[in-house]
Amino acid sequence: MRRITIWLLSTVAALVLLFSYKTSTMGAGGESSAVASGTDRAGSSWSGTDGGTGSGPSTGGDSSTGGTGSTGSTGSGGDGTATGSVAQTRWGPVQVRITVSGGKITDVAVLQVPDGNHRDQEINDYAVPILRQEALAAQSARIDTVSGATVTSDGYRESLQSAIDAAHLG
């Protein structure tokens, strides 16, 4: 389960990173260690580890229990929450928490956003809904890669494919 959690966190961290890519270059951001630690997640591994049950689509059921706030922590049976390390985005530090139920992300919550300027609103209004949707969509479909009309480097930085790649780099 821990490996899955690491993967989930690195994916979410990668998604957060996407929003910092728009003006910066690849490799920026303090959470690169989280990305680099992502190991394997072949599609079927969701059901192959301890307690993970579902390999079908996420039902969206929420069981936000067992969170302790440290990286990689989960409850038993594939349920629980895990908190990512602080990611440096274009707006400032962002920290996210994912809720896992039956081996699936069922929610993405933002614990820390930059304050003191209007950017926190921008993240909450714009970036968070997108990263939540991408995280949920990617793993409910359990995809390994994305086929799309020729991706440019700019488009890549914001793409689902870059999040998938980032989760497996290193």
Partner 1 sequence: MSGTVTEPDRRAWVAQVMGLPVSVHLRGPEVRTDAVAERVARVFAELREVDATFSTYRPDSVLSRLGGAVPDPTTADPLVREVVERCEEARVRTGGWFDARRLPLPGGGTGFDPSGLVKGWAVERAARRLVLPGHDLCLNAGGDVLLRTAPGRPAWRVGIEDPDRPERLLDVVARAHGAVATSGTARRGAHITDPRAGRPARAVRSVTVVGPELLWADVYATAAVARGADALDWLATLDGYAALLVDAAGGVRATPNWPGSRPATQTRAA
Alpha-carbon dihedral of residues 14, 17, 22, 26, nearest 10 degrees? -80
Number of residues that bind partner 1 (CB under 8 A): 42
- Among 41, 90, 104, 132, indicate the residue that binds partner 1 (CB under 8 A): 41
- Among 21, 28, 42, 53, indicate the residue that binds partner 1 (CB under 8 A): 42
Q: Which residues in 64-123 contact partner 1 (CB under 8 A)?
A: none
Q: Which residues in 137-166 contact partner 1 (CB under 8 A)?
A: 137-138, 141-153, 155-156, 158-162, 164-165
Interior/surface letters 78-114, b for 16+ CB within 10 angstroms, e for the rest: bbbbbbbbbbbbbbbebbbbbbbbbbbbbbbebebbb
Q: Is the CB of residue 12 less than 8 Å from the CB of residue 98?
A: yes
Q: How far is the CB of 167 from partner 1 (least distance, A)?
A: 8
How far apart are alpha carbons 69 and 155 in whole angstroms? 33
Residues within the interface to partner 1 (CB under 8 A): 3, 39-45, 48-50, 130, 133-134, 137-138, 141-153, 155-156, 158-162, 164-165, 167-170
